[in-house]
Copies of this chain bind each other. A is one copy, B any other.
Amino acid sequence: MRIKAIYERSIALQGNIANAVVDFSKHTVSLVAIVSDQVRNGKTVTGLAFNSIGRFAQGGIMRERMIPRLMQADPTSLLDASGLHFDLSRISANIMRDEKPGGHGDRAGAAAALELAFWDLNAKLADEPAYQHIAKTLEQTPITQGVPVYAAGGYYYPGESSRKLAEELKAYQDLGYRVFKIKIGGAELAEDLSRIETAIKVAGDTGAVAVDANGRFNPSTALAYGKELAAYKLRWYEEPGDPLDYTLLAELGEHYQGSIATGENLFSAADSHNLMRYAGLRPDKDILQMDPGLSYGLTEYQKILALTTAAGFHRTQCIPHGGHLINLHIVTALGLGGCEAYPGVFEPFGGYSTQCRVDNGRVMPSDAPGFGLEQKTELAPHIDHLLGI
């Protein structure tokens, strides 16, 4: 078995929103296809994936560094002992050949898109959904009754914030969501508290509302917000300051008794190790959001999980950033704590296919082979285009 071709294409994210730090309409994502020489049911078996959501496409790094390494490798050196599947440790090592340690940024997304496409390919070779294939390969017991999913959004509506926010969250309820995450820090504290009260009223439970500061607070503002947020007993308080400011997280954790969520902007096991060492996070309450699609893929994410487990965190404390089909399969396979979704934004990558019904706050992958990206109607035309169909 060998790789016949690797295709990648940069696709604009339909993020018709801004979070006051960045304008998502400028963001792009790399869609990747690994074309094998294998045929199943008369069709060439092709692995598909993308580098999650919220950063940028990485065509340059893939084309100039990583794809040539994969194409120049001895094909058998990339396979497992049976020769029937690609060996993901070998694939990962090959993608990273001649890369130095440190500097875990854009290349982590480039490597992830490629690595995850091999997981999709392996699952399709076995003719099973990726969550089943991943669970089997990593000797895990997958979740079979659907995983918890929350709706992220909770935007600002200047002038008529409360009414429009309530409408937005009610629309998510109609779609089957029960837990919401809303933005904070884009208005004065008093207005943010009023928005939180609106969200709690719609959700019917303080524990069904999380807030996200998108890293915009300086330490004193982060602490001031924490003081006021504590009384609400929210689901969590996400990314108060710079993602690398572990000292800020440790200070906040000393004063804020609720859950803190962080990790979506840490892209490696080495950075996650420092988060475990220095941020004072509390294994019984804090939430870890590292995203395999931004962090070299599932091989590195297993190392991250080993570190967080060693630090005392149960897997259900891990709720990856990036609400899409790839993370749904990973969360389901590994028994993690849940998934996010940004209903109506971040197309064509964000959200789930109609075959993965969101019901009463849970979502379950379909039985399609691999990650089932072909079933997502918004994404399917881009896949056809990438493959020249």
**Contact indicator A265/B98 (Cβ below 8 Å):** no
CA distance A58 to B274 in the complex (A): 27
CB distance from A60 to the nearest CB of B (A): 1
Known: A64-B10, A64-B56, A278-B278. A102 touches B270 (CB 8 A): no
Partner of A103, one of B59, B63, B104, B270: B104
**Contact indicator B102/A243 (Cβ below 8 Å):** yes
A237 at the interface (CB under 8 A from B): no
Residue of B nearest to A62 (CB): B60
Chain B residues with Cβ under 8 A from A215's Cβ?
100-102
Chain B residues with Cβ under 8 A from A245's Cβ?
270, 273
**Contact indicator B102/A103 (Cβ below 8 Å):** no
Chain B residues with Cβ under 8 A from A60's Cβ?
58-61, 63-64
CB distance from A136 to the nearest CB of B (A): 32
* Complex interface bits, A56-77 against B, C-beta within 8 A gives 1, otherwise 0: 1111110111000000000000
Chain B residues with Cβ under 8 A from A324's Cβ?
none
* Complex interface bits, A238-253 against B, C-beta within 8 A gives 1, otherwise 0: 0000111111000000
Q: How large is the interface on A (under 10, 10 to 19, 20 to 34, 35 or more residues)?
A: 35 or more
The number of times this chain is found in the oligomer is 2
CB distance from A152 to the nearest CB of B (A): 15
A23-31, A139-147, A195-203: which lies at the interface: A23-31
By Cβ-Cβ distance, the 7 closest A-B pairs, closest first, are A60-B60, A105-B105, A102-B265, A102-B243, A103-B105, A244-B270, A106-B106
- Interface residues of chain A, those whose CB is within 8 Å of chain B, are 10, 21-23, 26-28, 54-61, 63-65, 98-108, 215, 242-247, 265-268, 270-271, 273-274, 277-278, 294
CA distance A58 to B107 in the complex (A): 11
**Residue among A60, A65, A294 with the highest chain B CB neighbour number at 10 A:** A60
Residue of B nearest to A99 (CB): B22
**Contact indicator A22/B98 (Cβ below 8 Å):** yes
Chain B residues with Cβ under 8 A from A265's Cβ?
100-103
Chain B residues with Cβ under 8 A from A267's Cβ?
102-103, 105
CB distance from A26 to the nearest CB of B (A): 5
Partner of A61, one of B26, B100, B106, B273: B106
CB distance from A113 to the nearest CB of B (A): 13
